[in-house]
Structure 1
Amino acid sequence: MQSHLETQAAFRAALNNAELPPGITAVGDLDRRFSVYRNTVAHSLSEALGQRFPSVARIVGDAFFKAVAQIFVTAHPPRSPVLHTYGDAFPAFLASFPPAATLPYLPDVARIELLRGEAYHAADADPMPADTCAAQISADPDNAVLSLHPSLRVFVSDSYPAVSIWAMNQPGGAAVPPPPDAEAALIFRRGDNAAVLKIDPDAARIVAALIGGAPLGAACQDVAPDIAASAFSTLLQHGLIIGLSQAKESGTHD
């Protein structure tokens, strides 16, 4: 007799193949009833992908998106019961999906939408008052360690103007030719929305280093001063700094 966990595993596996899971019973045509359930699950997962990656769906069109979603759902069954987290592997899947090769920026657009979902569902926190933050940093800016808002995410494309392409495919987005250069953005929750704020790629890398715990001086050391100032000003302006501490200088002892 199968254990409960073995039964669950067999049931999950049967959702992606034509076989019935062992041990299940039902009134009526069991094959037909389970097939209806299997199709309902697949449809629900495809719909969840469409809700999480609406710009991707708009770029490729409904028919293409439904087809790629069906393939993805079969290859990537959910690992969590939380439906809004489904699709974490979708950007990487698109990057290796041959029919999408003519749209090489598509995985980056999907990454933006993935990060927007993460930002929207992240924890909340109160911003640090700007005057307090500025005063504390001025005492020792190089060793200042910033605590940033839990919803803050950093997007950097290596090759494509993905932020502009994403913006063009929003409701009411202007259909203008995107710039030729690769783009970056800060993504964070603002009210009941997840904002996408295009910034200089070097400024985005500063913020990524700060999120990783680097002191301000180390995060900015290889970047032009005006870009470093712009990165800090952007964080302050949008209430993304929630705390500040000082890193211990190298070589000091308690």
Structure 2
Amino acid sequence: MNTQASFASALLDPDQPCPAGLYCGNGADPASRFAVYRNNVQSSLINALADAYPVVAQLVGDEFFRAMAALYVRRFPPTSAVLSDYGHDFADFIGGFPPATSLPYLADVARLERLRVSAYHAADACPVQPQQIAAAMAEPASLGQLRLELHPSLGLLESAHPVVALWAAHQGDGDWQAIDLQQGQNALVLRHDLEVEVFAIDAGVACFIHSLRHSQPLQVAVANALAADPAFEPSQALALLIGRGAITRLSPHSEV
């Protein structure tokens, strides 16, 4: 292992000794100085995870969270200089972390929070004006083949747990005691007017949006949604997307 790799490895593992060959120009002990630097680096990464996953931290408590995050930091060092990217797979780590098995919803809450981080940093895009959408909807001959391009910040999460309710309860918008932990939820995450919003949506709406994101034409997206939920109302789903500025391009079949 070369000096740089040895330094990086020891930096994230407190059980490793100070790398050989370090010295301080002022005569200070290199091991002591390295220990301080290592602690600062680890603390900054743990703090970055706490900032990205505040509800997860609240659910397990600060001491548990920081201990769990410290193990993650040791196992998964940063691969990008962009600190907001760090911890993109933290939810998978939580899902395989034995001490967290008593909270089966914890990993999906982390996935929801990661979608919020991704939405906040996603590229911007101008929404299609409602008048343009109304004009396209007034053309029945081509309506079924119309494709809707959605905002880059949009994210979906299908969960067997009430992730939106759990998240909202920690924003002061819900009653923790009233949450049915056996009730699954589908989440829609979207940045609108510089604010990242979270919605609980029905299975049909989730299927509809999923189809649109995969470039399916409108008639296929509606058919898929109705198969998932016979009570699906296309007009309500479209109203949600239009109202939040989530439709950024209309593409007739001939342009695809």
TM-score normalised by length of structure 1:
0.89
- Judged with a 3 Å threshold, the aligned counterparts in structure 2 of structure 1 residues 62 and 142 are, in CA distance, closer, same or farther, namely same
Match of 1:128 in 2: 128
Aligned partner of 1:83 in structure 2 is 83
**Alpha-carbon distance between aligned partners in 2 of 1:131 and 1:226, rounded to the nearest angstrom:** 24
Q: Using the alignment, how far apart are the partners of 2:190 and 2:91 within structure 1?
A: 19
Partner letter of residue 164 of structure 2?
A: V
Alignment partner, residue 183 of structure 2 = 181
**8 Å Cα contact 2:150/2:249 also seen in 1:** yes
1:215-234 equivalences under 5 Å are 215-222=217-224, 223=226, 224=230, 226-234=232-240
Q: How many residues align?
A: 245
The residue correspondences of 1:1-254 to structure 2 (distance < 5 A) are: 7-17=3-13, 18-27=16-25, 28-139=28-139, 140-157=142-159, 159-171=160-172, 173-179=174-180, 180-222=182-224, 223=226, 224=230, 226-248=232-254
Show structure 1 runs of 4+ deviating over 4 A: none
Q: CA shift at 1:22, angstroms?
A: 4.8
Partners of 1:213 and 1:230 lie apart in 2 by 20
Question: How many Å separate the matches in 1 of 2:169 and 2:212?
Answer: 30
Q: Structure 2: which 5+ runs fail to align?
A: none
Question: Tell me, which stretches of 5 or more residues in structure 1 are unaligned?
Answer: none
Cα distance, 1:172–1:237 mapped onto 2, change above 3 Å:
closer
Tell me the distance in 2 between the aligned counterparts of 1:72 and 1:189: 28
Change in CA separation of 1:199 and 1:98 when aligned onto 2, cut-off 3 Å: same
Residue 32 of structure 1, CA deviation: 1.1
The 3-state SS of whatever aligns with 1:37 is helix
Deviations 1:166-196 (CA, angstroms, capped at 9, x unpaired) = 1111246433421442111211112332110
User: Greater CA deviation, 201-210 or 30-39?
Assistant: 201-210
Conserved 8 A contact 1:143-1:249: no
**Deviation per residue, 1:121-145 (Å, 9 max, x gap):** 1111211111211211442222111
1:146 offset after TM fit, Å? 0.7
- The 1-side partners of 2:253 and 2:231 are apart by 21
Measured against aligned partners, the alpha-carbon deviations of 1:207-246 in whole angstroms (never above 9, x if no partner) come to 1221121111122213136333322221111111111011
The one-letter code sitting in structure 2 at the alignment partner of 1:163 is: V
Q: Provide the C-alpha distance between the structure 2 equivalents of 1:156 and 1:69, rounded to a whole number of angstroms.
A: 25
For normalisation by structure 2, the TM-score amounts to: 0.88
Output the aligned Cα RMSD.
2.1
Distance of 1:181 and 1:52 partners within structure 2: 25
Query: Contact 1:168/1:176 (CA < 8 Å) preserved in 2?
Result: no
Q: Which moved more, 1:108-117 or 1:238-247?
A: 238-247
